[in-house]
A and B are shown apart, each in its own frame.
Chain A
Amino acid sequence: MSDVEEKKVVTELFGDLNKKKKKKSKKESTGEEDEEKASTPVEGEDFEFKKKKKKKSKSSAADAFDEQLEAAGINEVAEEGSAEEKSDNASDNTDLTYSDLLSRFFGILRENNPELAGDRGTKYKIPPPVVTRDGSKKSLFANVKEISERMKRPSEHVIQYLFAELGTSGSIDGASRLIIKGRFQPKQIENVLRSYIMEYVACPTCKSANTLLQKENRLYFLVCQACGSTRTVSSIKTGFQAHVGRRKKVAA
């Protein structure tokens, strides 16, 4: 008789422990989520390359696979916890929807190893372009070299793209700064750089920015270092240029 009672007490104790554990972990996770929510919108000064902010649930197939592979250890821990909960009170578990569990999983994942958490796009940052006016009709783009080095692209290629998109011309001065004809704001240059990254840096297959630009038989190829895909990218075309300013006299 007494044995049975003891057992009961023990199980109750354990049950209490488990419950406490569960509650604690839940609280922690929610708190962290809140923190993250608060921190995510406030990003640094550096503008980052992102197509459109993907929600956690919409991670691409590759990402999900990677997470599953590499977060196996964390998964196991999480499963242990959930198993204990199940034995505790199975009725509680039915309330947990898929999205709840998913957000909880991502909360844990972010906490333990944030680099696996699927928003790799946010990690790609380049320094903001420094654009100042050079006289009344020219702009000075001071950190072209730095930016193109960060993107692992030859600065000539970046400059060629800038000129084609902006429909102007320019030159490089002694300190490897770019002089662009026309008035441009840093914001405008930033937009052009963004589209450059979309076209010539981001891998079209896996959206990784860890890519190289190779030239073979007059064709440019984008070789992704992350997923190994190779894609052709169109060469830079200037397109139609209208006459601006005074008309030149046509030579007879």
Chain B
Amino acid sequence: MKQTDNLVDIKDLTFRRGSRTIYDGISLQVPKGKITAVMGPSGIGKTTLLKLIGGQLRPDSGDILFRGESIPAMRRSRLFKVRRQMSMLFQSGALFTDMTVYDNIAYPLREHTRLEEDIIRTVVLLKLQSVGLRGAAGLMPSELSGGMARRAALARAIALDPDLIMYDEPFAGQDPISMGVLVKLIKQLNDSLGVTSIVVTHDVKEVLSIADYVYILANQKIIGSGTPDEVREDSSELVQQFLQGSADGPVPFHYPADELAKSLMEVR
């Protein structure tokens, strides 16, 4: 049964922002209980993909299925119900700056459940323990380092035990240690809670170490996909340039421009 194996199923998706095409007919599947990585160079709208899955944006054509149910076709109230089963870790962490770390993590619980305050306390402390920040419960978000803020946000993202966690650039701008911590956490959460994860990133090495399946996006299309090993062996020049990080290749070093000599000679 293919339908039940995939938590998220994107079919022939096209999305434009103004006159710019972001995606041109892409299809990808996110199998249940696995870590799926979506990679690609900066500025091609990887975050947009997550917002499309979350229903914050609507595709111009194509369909996005969550448990076989079309997200763009949902009414707002249904969408809000479905969103409780997913959560998203934003690049900036997006902790609420006007409350403590503890209240941040308790927030979705207080909004969506009718749990007693002492049960909430237990849940929050357990979630904080799992990201190693129980000691930081009383701090304000402004007192946290970037890596700690992201871990706290991760604790908030798993507060309601979602089925799907979407990570938006979890490794961007992290030092090697916190990067290692995050890699370990993502893997651990996936294994212990059985959640499905989508990791959007351009940090090749880290993500290949934990991903079960990889998609590489460029030029509005999927240019390569497969398990990490398959992707490493991919014959496409573009994929290899991206994985190895060479400066020039199919993705040119230069932004499209007139010839240098001509530009310099131009009379102003």
- The answer to whether A binds B is no
